[in-house]
Amino acid sequence: MKTFRIGGIHPKENKFSAGKQIQVAELPKQVVIPLSHYIGTPSEAVVKKGDVVKVGQLIGKANGFISANVHSSVSGKVNKIDVQLDATGYKRPAVYIDVEGDEWLETIDRSTEIKRECNLSKEEIVRKIQDAGIVGLGGATFPTHVKLSPPPGKKANILIINAVECESYLTCDHQLMLEKGEEILVGTTILMKALEVNRAVIGIESNKKDAIVHLQQLAKNFKGIEVEALKVRYPQGGEKQLIDAVVRRQVPSGRIPIEVGAVVQNVGTTYAVYEAVQKNKPMIERVMTITGKTAPNPGNYLVRLGTYLSSVVDQAGGVPEGTGKIVGGGPMMGRSLMNLNVPMAKGSSGVVFIKEEESIRKPVKNCIRCAKCVTVCPMGLEPFLLMNQSERNMWAEMEDNRTMDCIECGSCSYTCPSNRPLLDYIRFGKTTVGGIIRNRTAKK
Amino acid sequence: MNLIVIALLTLGIIGAVSAIILYFVAKKFHVYEDPRIDEVEAALPAANCGGCGFPGCRGFANACVKADTLDGLFCPVGGNDTMQKVAGILGKTAVTAVPTVAVVRCGGTCDHRPRMNEYDGVKHCFIAHNLYSGETGCSWGCLGLGDCEVSCEFDAIKVNPVTKLPEVDEDKCTSCGACVKACPKLLIELRKKGPKSRRIYVSCRNEDKGHIAKKSCDVSCISCSKCEKVCPHEAITITNNLAFIHDDKCKLCRKCVEVCPTNAIVELNFPPRKVKEESMTPKEEQLVG
């Protein structure tokens, strides 16, 4: 079985919510829809206080190319446009909507019937995706239409669908594949058309055998789509790692995947593309996993954007006793939440409860030069060295040692026998070095 | 015996030839260095803190010697005395600058700002700031993890373990600006030291709207603009929901301190205020007497 060639770890999978049917979460009383995503400029609000909105109506217009539209996920009245704490505790602009009924825009096709034909041209597809405000649902939330518009002179020859879900605990993509397999394949053909490629590979880790078999069977009816089983290895879901695993191409340092002719899209994004293009449904809801070792009722929930995480967690049985940390996203890449009163954003893939005894950071000891972090780094970096340089503010050396290539997967911190906070320091260095590089290019 | 003479002669000749070569090479590649650079360097405090904007004291001395005038060149550690000395050596006139000192613009002690969560990560302000807004409800305030303390070469700023806020030792602070750069929340500012070290400043950086700021911290600036109105010298401006006292206009009248409803404006090193006499009735005065 294929996998990427450099580094990687295999944390315990703990997929408690695997095979749990996607449940539709209750409509909340109020939603708070953030106008800014994690990547790109915040969108501009186009509604004002007192406006009545329907499900799917545009409320935030994209501001620039690397930005995405935001749509109302509920019907009701706009209460206010104000700031709202996001998961990191900083305030971001958001639209507050009081829910009244559930009235959808007439243009949205709400039937469950699968629409396979798509006669739109390449430009029309990208246009529709851009209008629907679709962003990468793997977690980075990079606007999808940007990825589908390669820079001039560059052309993709393969589309890779990221169905790896290498993070432990999370199962939202897995369940989506089981329930919406055919839709995902239609979405893949649409994306292939938009990119003008005739080959697509869906990469799935081998711990999701049912999904592999299911999609392989369905893929027989679709031309040019292959399903590839991959060895379980974290961080296979990283773009560069997945390209290496599937087509054995290495993306050069500091470059983007299109340079080697590959485009990677998350499986959740593919489903959203299907809904946007075939059903005119903008990005207003997503599947998220609520799980944890002590979670009373781990499961996958279809949640409207802007719902408070606390209300979803309550539906899943509430916060279990003895929880030390609540992590938004997967346990490796996710960040612990300050509180649960944060609205769900496009990139929220899950909520994981970590037991108190597991959540405590162990005391930091000295580096014993075992080089385990070097072995596991999927980007071929030397994390111990980068951490030392970051501690001593040696920014020039950090840049020479390719700190900007770090994908922040956390494999180094996970594997360190001395519990050294490698990633924390590398991230610190990365931010500083990034700032220095931006200043330098701005001066030129 | 013969052997020793030969050895001595050989080595002596090699030595002499090398010396001649070295002499001519040294002449040929001689780099003239202004002797005044050494003199200026000796007059500088040798702290090598970089507060002047040059890499160390030697770099600053070099810049002083090369520059036509001393405009814009100032050693914050040495202050005016040092600059006078430097100017004396170089025969130029030094710019006099008002001495400044670092102030921390956050008053959110543990009593004023309840802790809402616990941070158990690396004790490093910048790392914590990168991850999230901090342990308290105020995303603008001090994190208390001591990046400023580490950055200070002069041992002048220390995080108080009780209040979890940094405190500046005025006598030690040289206003080199290292802590200003180290603080990820941009809380530290270099302000005029003022007569008898008396200073008034807004000890808050919260740019949220009043009600949100008040909720997160008792002593935050709620931009009520009372101070702006009461100030007779137009020294106070409010931008982005935050008051700021311009130290070049402030005459230290302390009117703003009295009106501030949240005590966000801080006065330092002033004598205690006189108790108003009319508050005492004649009877009470007799009792006191």
Are the C-beta atoms of A399 and A432 separated by less than 8 Å?
no
Residue with tokens 């922040």: A408
Residue B103's pLDDT is 93
Residue B283's pLDDT is 54
Residue B287's pLDDT is 55
What is the rounded average pLDDT of the residues B124-137?
Answer: 89
Are the C-beta atoms of A349 and A288 separated by less than 8 Å?
yes
What b/e sequence results for A295-329 when a residue is b if at least 16 CB atoms lie within 10 Å of its CB, and e otherwise? Answer: beebbbbbbbbbbbbbbbbebbeebeeebebbbbb
Residue with tokens 């956390």: A410
pLDDT bucket at A292, cuts 50 / 70 / 90: very high
User: Looking at the predicted structure, is the pLDDT value of residue A38 above 70?
Assistant: no
Residue A312's pLDDT is 92
For residue A432, the chain B residue with the least C-alpha distance is B126
Mutate one of A38, A83, A91 to test the B interface: name it (highest B CB count within 10 A).
A91
Please answer yes or no on whether A83 and B131 come within 8 Å at the CB atom.
no
A323: number of CA atoms within 13 Å, CB side?
21
pLDDT tens readout for residues B25-42: 999 999 888 889 999 999
Residue A437's pLDDT is 94
What is the rounded average pLDDT of the residues A339-343?
Answer: 88
> Which domains, and CATH codes, for chain A?
25-99 (2.40.50), 122-279 (3.40.50.11540), 287-359 (3.10.20.600), 372-443 (no CATH)
For residue A424, the chain B residue with the least C-alpha distance is B127
Report CA torsion sign: B119, B123, B127, B133.
positive
For residue A420, the chain B residue with the least C-alpha distance is B122
In angstroms, rounded to a whole number, what is the distance separating the alpha carbons of residues A59 and A134? 14
Q: Kindly state whether A427 is in contact with chain B, defined as any CB-CB distance less than 8 angstroms.
A: yes
Residue A254's pLDDT is 87
pLDDT bucket at A435, cuts 50 / 70 / 90: very high
User: Looking at the predicted structure, is the pLDDT value of residue B241 above 60?
Assistant: yes
Six-digit token pair at A154?
Answer: 């560059």
User: Looking at the predicted structure, is the pLDDT value of residue B87 above 60?
Assistant: yes
Residue B271's pLDDT is 86
Q: How far is Cα of residue A260 from the mean position of the Cα atoms in its chain?
A: 22
Six-digit token pair at A47?
Answer: 């509604």
User: Looking at the predicted structure, is the pLDDT value of residue B284 above 80?
Assistant: no
> Across-strand partners of A203?
A162, A228
In angstroms, rounded to a whole number, what is the distance separating the alpha carbons of residues A5 and A314? 42
pLDDT tens readout for residues B97-119: 888 899 999 998 888 888 888 88
Please answer yes or no on whether B212 and A339 come within 8 Å at the CB atom.
no
Pick left, alpha or beta for residue A174 (phi over 0 → left; psi -120 to 50 → alpha; otherwise beta). alpha
* CATH class given for the domain over B100-268: alpha beta
Pick left, alpha or beta for residue A321 (phi over 0 → left; psi -120 to 50 → alpha; otherwise beta). beta
Q: What angle do CA B173, B162, B102 make, to 5 degrees?
A: 20
What is the rounded average pLDDT of the residues A313-331?
Answer: 91
Which range is least confidently modeled, A144-148, A206-210, A261-265, B75-79? B75-79
Average pLDDT, chain B: 88
Mutate one of A325, A338, A391 to test the B interface: name it (highest B CB count within 10 A).
A338
For residue A429, the chain B residue with the least C-alpha distance is B127
Give B-chain residues touching A431 at CB under 8 angstroms.
126, 130
Residue A314's pLDDT is 92
Picking from A250, A256, A262, A258, the residue whose alpha carbon sits closest to that of residue A380 is A250
Give A-chain residues touching B121 at CB under 8 angstroms.
361, 421, 424
Q: In what order do the strands lie in the sheet with A30-34?
A: A30-34, A91-99, A76-85, A52-53
Give B-chain residues touching A361 at CB under 8 angstroms.
120-121
Residue A190's pLDDT is 94
What is the rounded average pLDDT of the residues A243-267?
Answer: 92
Specify the domain boundaries for CATH 1.10.15 within chain B: 35-90
Are the C-beta atoms of A172 and A350 separated by less than 8 Å?
yes
Helices A122-131 and A267-279 sit at what angle, rounded to 10 degrees?
100
Percent of chain B with pLDDT strictly greater than 90: 44
pLDDT tens readout for residues A256-271: 899 999 999 999 999 9
Residue B289's pLDDT is 45
Highest mean pLDDT among A110-124, A419-433, B80-94, B113-127: A419-433
> What is the architecture, at CATH level 2, of domain B35-90?
Orthogonal Bundle (1.10)
Residue A382's pLDDT is 95
What is the rounded average pLDDT of the residues A383-404?
Answer: 94
In angstroms, rounded to a whole number, what is the distance separating the alpha carbons of residues B289 and B285? 6
Specify the domain boundaries for CATH 3.30.70.20 within chain B: 100-268
What is the rounded average pLDDT of the residues A148-163?
Answer: 91
Residue B120's pLDDT is 86
Residue B282's pLDDT is 53
Min Cα separation B131/chain A (Å) = 7
User: Looking at the predicted structure, is the pLDDT value of residue A296 above 70?
Assistant: yes
Helices A181-195 and A209-219 sit at what angle, rounded to 10 degrees?
60
DSSP class of residue A356 equals H
User: Looking at the predicted structure, is the pLDDT value of residue A283 above 80?
Assistant: yes
> Cα torsion for A105, A111, A114, A119, to the nearest 10°?
-30
Are the C-beta atoms of A335 and B132 separated by less than 8 Å?
yes
Please give, one letter per residue, the 3-state secondary structure of A261-308. Answer: CEEEEEHHHHHHHHHHHHHCCCCCEEEEEEEECCCCCCEEEEEECCCE
User: Looking at the predicted structure, is the pLDDT value of residue B211 above 60?
Assistant: yes
Q: In what order do the strands lie in the sheet with A58-61?
A: A44-45, A58-61, A70-71
Residue A97's pLDDT is 94
Residue B280's pLDDT is 52
In angstroms, rounded to a whole number, what is the distance separating the alpha carbons of residues B222 and B224? 6
Six-digit token pair at B204?
Answer: 């808050």
Q: How many Å is the Cα radius of gyration of chain B?
A: 29
Residue A194's pLDDT is 93
Are the C-beta atoms of A259 and A252 separated by less than 8 Å?
yes
Residue B275's pLDDT is 64
Percent of chain A with pLDDT strictly greater than 90: 73
Report CA torsion sign: B52, B54, B56, B60.
negative
Beta strand A76-85 with A52-53 is antiparallel
CB neighbours of B170 closer than 8 A, spacing ≥ 6?
B101, B193, B197
Picking from B234, B218, B10, the residue whose alpha carbon sits closest to that of residue B106 is B218
pLDDT bucket at A307, cuts 50 / 70 / 90: very high
pLDDT tens readout for residues A14-24: 999 988 999 99
How distant, in Å, are the alpha carbons of A190, A433, B146 from that of A394? 47, 10, 20
What is the rounded average pLDDT of the residues A215-229?
Answer: 93
Please answer yes or no on whether A89 and B133 come within 8 Å at the CB atom.
yes
A235 prior amide bond cis, ω within 30? yes
Residue with tokens 């404006």: B265
Using CB atoms, pick whichever of B130, B133, B139 lies closest to residue A427.
B130
Min Cα separation B34/chain A (Å) = 31
pLDDT bucket at B286, cuts 50 / 70 / 90: low
Please answer yes or no on whether B132 and A338 come within 8 Å at the CB atom.
yes
Give A-chain residues touching B122 at CB under 8 angstroms.
421, 424-425
Please answer yes or no on whether A89 and B120 come within 8 Å at the CB atom.
no
